[in-house]
Structure 1
Amino acid sequence: MKVTINGLDREIPENMNILTLLENLSIENNISLAGAIVLVNEVLIPRDNWKESIPEDSANIEIVSFVSGG
Structure 2
Amino acid sequence: MNILVNEESHPFSQPLTLLALLNELALNPAGCALAVNQIIIPRDNWPAHLLEDGDEILLFQAIAGG
The reply on whether 1:4 has 2:19 as its aligned counterpart is no
| Equivalent-residue separation in structure 1 for 2:28 and 2:46 (angstroms) | 15
Match of 1:60 among 48, 56, 61: 56
How far apart are 1:50 and its partner, in Å? 0.2
Question: What residue ranges of structure 2 are gaps of 5+ in the alignment?
Answer: none
**Secondary structure, counterpart of 1:21 in structure 2:** helix
The reply on whether 1:50 has 2:46 as its aligned counterpart is yes
| Equivalent-residue separation in structure 2 for 1:8 and 1:43 (angstroms) | 18
RMSD (CA atoms): 1.5
Question: What residue ranges of structure 1 are gaps of 5+ in the alignment?
Answer: none
| Equivalent-residue separation in structure 1 for 2:8 and 2:52 (angstroms) | 16
Read off the aligned partner of 1:49 and give its amino acid letter.
Answer: N
Count of residues paired in the alignment: 66
What percentage of residue pairs aligned between the two structures are identical?
32
